[in-house]
């Protein structure tokens, strides 16, 4: 009896232990499933936030394309336009509102101030277009760096004084072949002797390959450093050789080209006829300004034929005529938007003249600035200097760069993209798009500098027709 009783107790204890083990296993399974469900829910939530912030940012890119394509020559509405570019509501998703903000670094050296607009690449020096720029006039650009840059892109193997050709790069511990041709992107300058990421982009602009994280990086109260050489340089500017209304310009150097029916003095027609009859060509339409042509008269006497082009006629001539047989004009600098630093790096412009150009354009209407003729009409330069500078300048911009943040409120989820666009006639495309979210926020989302909620001048209404609440 004692043994049977002992077996019964052992059996009950075994069953109790088994039940306890089973309960523990079931508890662990439940906890594991709950953890998995929570992780999947968090991942799905983050994924939705990522997609929505991406979609909001791409809406900002589309708006930038629209505004840039609608811009007229001489106007600069795209430079600072908070109504179009700041805190624009894209869509509502339950308790979350999704916005975009398009912005660019301000015109100064600091990275800590921004403006709500685009940066035109024509305000920069296109290093692919010419080797005649005085790049050593740019901040932090040494003569050695400028010489090495031009050696890197020219098509010969003869080094400039203080320059560097293929022999230098072949002797490096990790040798590579230099471009010896146009650069495909500005980042290729990092392959040129003397160029560093800090010099090119500024210490705050570490080039990031992109991230899929939708979480903001750690914030810092440190003051952002100054900008790099990329604010002055580009590789992507070009414009069609057409009038502002899109019609083709007439090449007055072509003997078979019919002159357009525009209001110009009869002396102009006689001048063009004399040029063609004597087989003479001019390098640019600007050379028609106050031009005279010395010729032999019927009796052998010297006579001068005047072009008849002065201040009043110059804009029409620049609009309707060209001396080029090419369809595209690369690397022209926009005289209406380029900084004094960029202008002073052009051959023929010193610092006082660059400052005079910037000062004079501030008081001009967009209509006055729609061709470069205002430089002469406003007395900033004389006819000879205008003829020297005109082949380098334009009053139009077709390629733009900017940053755009797509973000949600009240969550604060965001994505930041760096973009380039081209709105030249027949083009209208995104030239590049890179994720730079890891750089962090340059400003607080959805607030004015004093911390109050920002109010966009153009807010998309809700389905009810009422202005949505700004978070």
Beta strands in 392-428 (DSSP E): 393-394, 399-409, 414-422
> Could you tell me where the beta strands, DSSP code E, fall in 300-398?
302-306, 321-322, 328-330, 333-334, 393-394
Alpha carbons 410 and 407: distance in angstroms, whole number: 9
Peptide bond connecting 410 to the previous residue in cis, omega within 30 degrees of 0: yes
Instruction: Compute the distance between CA of residue 188 and CA of residue 234 in angstroms, rounded to an integer.
Output: 11
Using the 8-state DSSP alphabet, how is residue 239 labeled?
A: E
Please identify which residue in the block is written with the tokens 């495909």.
Answer: 184
What is the distance between the alpha carbons of residues 274 and 296, in angstroms, rounded to a whole number? Answer: 11
* CA Rg value for the chain: 32
Q: How far is CA 291 from CA 268, 318, 387, in A?
A: 10, 14, 10
Domain residue spans in the chain? 43-130+232-238+328-471, 139-213+224-231, 242-325
- Coil, helix or strand for 453? strand
Instruction: Give yes or no for a contact between 458 and 84, defined as CB atoms under 8 angstroms apart.
Output: yes
Q: How far is CA 311 from CA 266, 272, 379, 415, in A?
A: 16, 18, 10, 50
The answer to whether 389 touches 346, Cβ cutoff 8 Å, is yes
Residue 427: which of 281, 356, 328 has the closest Cα? 328
What residues are paired with 125 via a beta bridge?
A: 233
Longest dimension (CA), the chain: 154
φ, ψ for residue 105 (rounded to 5)? -60, 145
pLDDT at residue number 10 = 60
Question: Helix H segments across 79-165?
Answer: 82-85, 143-153
Calpha distance 266→278 (Å, rounded): 19
Give, for all 471 residues of the chain, the pLDDT tens digit.
555 555 555 666 666 666 666 666 566 655 454 545 444 443 334 444 588 999 999 999 999 999 999 999 999 999 999 999 999 999 998 889 999 999 998 866 555 688 999 999 999 999 999 888 999 999 999 999 999 999 999 999 999 999 999 999 999 999 999 999 999 999 999 999 999 999 998 875 444 433 333 434 434 444 445 689 999 999 999 999 999 999 999 999 999 899 888 889 999 999 999 999 889 999 999 999 999 988 766 666 678 899 999 999 999 999 999 999 899 999 999 999 999 999 999 999 999 999 999 999 999 999 999 999 999 999 999 999 999 999 999 999 999 999 999 999 999 999 999 999 999 988 899 999 999 999 888 888 876 544 444 444 333 333 333 333 333
Q: For residue 28, what pLDDT is reported? A: 60
Tokens of 357: 């150009």
Output the pLDDT for position 26: 62
The secondary structure of residue 219, as a DSSP letter, is P
Residues in the chain: 471
Instruction: Please report where in the chains the tokens 């042509």 appear, as a residue.
Output: 293
CATH of region 139-213+224-231, choose from 1.20.1300.10, 3.30.470.10, 1.10.40.60, 1.10.150.120: 1.10.40.60
């Amino acid at each position: 009896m004692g043994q049977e009783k002992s077996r019964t107790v052992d059996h009950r204890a075994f069953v109790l232990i088994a039940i306890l083990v089973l309960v523990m296993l079931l508890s662990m399974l439940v906890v594991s499933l709950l953890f998995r469900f929570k992780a999947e829910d968090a991942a799905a939530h983050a994924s939705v936030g990522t997609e929505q912030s991406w979609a909001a940012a791409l809406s900002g890119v589309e708006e930038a394309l629209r505004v840039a394509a609608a811009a007229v020559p001489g106007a600069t509405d795209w430079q600072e336009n908070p109504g179009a570019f700041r805190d624009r509501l894209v869509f509502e998703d339950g308790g979350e509102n999704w916005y975009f903000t398009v912005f660019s670094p301000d015109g100064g050296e600091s990275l800590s101030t921004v403006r709500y607009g685009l940066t035109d690449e024509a305000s920069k020096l296109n290093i692919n277009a010419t080797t005649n720029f005085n790049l050593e006039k740019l901040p932090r650009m040494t003569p050695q760096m400028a010489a090495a840059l031009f050696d890197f892109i020219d098509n010969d193997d003869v080094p400039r004084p203080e320059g560097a050709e293929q022999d230098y790069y072949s002797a490096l511990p990790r040798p590579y072949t230099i471009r010896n041709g146009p650069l495909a992107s500005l980042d290729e300058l990092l392959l040129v002797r003397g160029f560093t990421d800090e010099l090119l982009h500024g210490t705050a602009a570490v080039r990031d390959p992109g991230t899929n994280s939708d979480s903001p990086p750690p914030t810092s109260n440190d003051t952002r450093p100054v900008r790099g050489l990329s604010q002055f340089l580009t590789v992507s500017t070009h414009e069609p050789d057409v009038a502002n209304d899109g019609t083709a310009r007439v090449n007055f150097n072509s003997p078979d080209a019919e002159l357009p029916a525009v209001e110009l003095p009869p002396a102009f027609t006689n001048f063009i006829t004399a040029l063609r009859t004597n087989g003479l060509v001019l390098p640019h339409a600007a050379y028609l300004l106050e031009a005279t042509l010395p010729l032999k008269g019927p009796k052998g006497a010297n006579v001068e034929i005047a072009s008849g082009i002065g201040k009043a006629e110059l804009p029409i001539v620049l609009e309707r005529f060209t001396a080029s047989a090419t369809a595209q004009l690369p690397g022209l600098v926009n005289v209406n938007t380029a900084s004094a630093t960029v202008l002073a790096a052009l051959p023929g412009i010193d610092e006082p003249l660059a400052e005079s150009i910037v000062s004079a354009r501030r008081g001009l209407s967009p209509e006055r600035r729609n061709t470069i003729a205002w430089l002469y009409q406003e007395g900033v330069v004389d006819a000879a200097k205008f003829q020297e500078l005109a082949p380098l300048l334009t009053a139009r911009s077709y390629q733009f760069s900017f940053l755009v943040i797509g973000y949600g409120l009240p969550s604060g989820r965001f994505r930041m993209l760096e973009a380039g666009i081209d709105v030249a006639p027949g083009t209208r495309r995104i030239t590049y798009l890179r994720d730079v979210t890891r750089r962090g926020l340059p400003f607080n989302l959805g607030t004015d500098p004093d911390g109050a909620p920002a109010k966009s001048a153009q807010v998309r209404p809700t389905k009810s027709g009422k202005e949505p609440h700004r978070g």
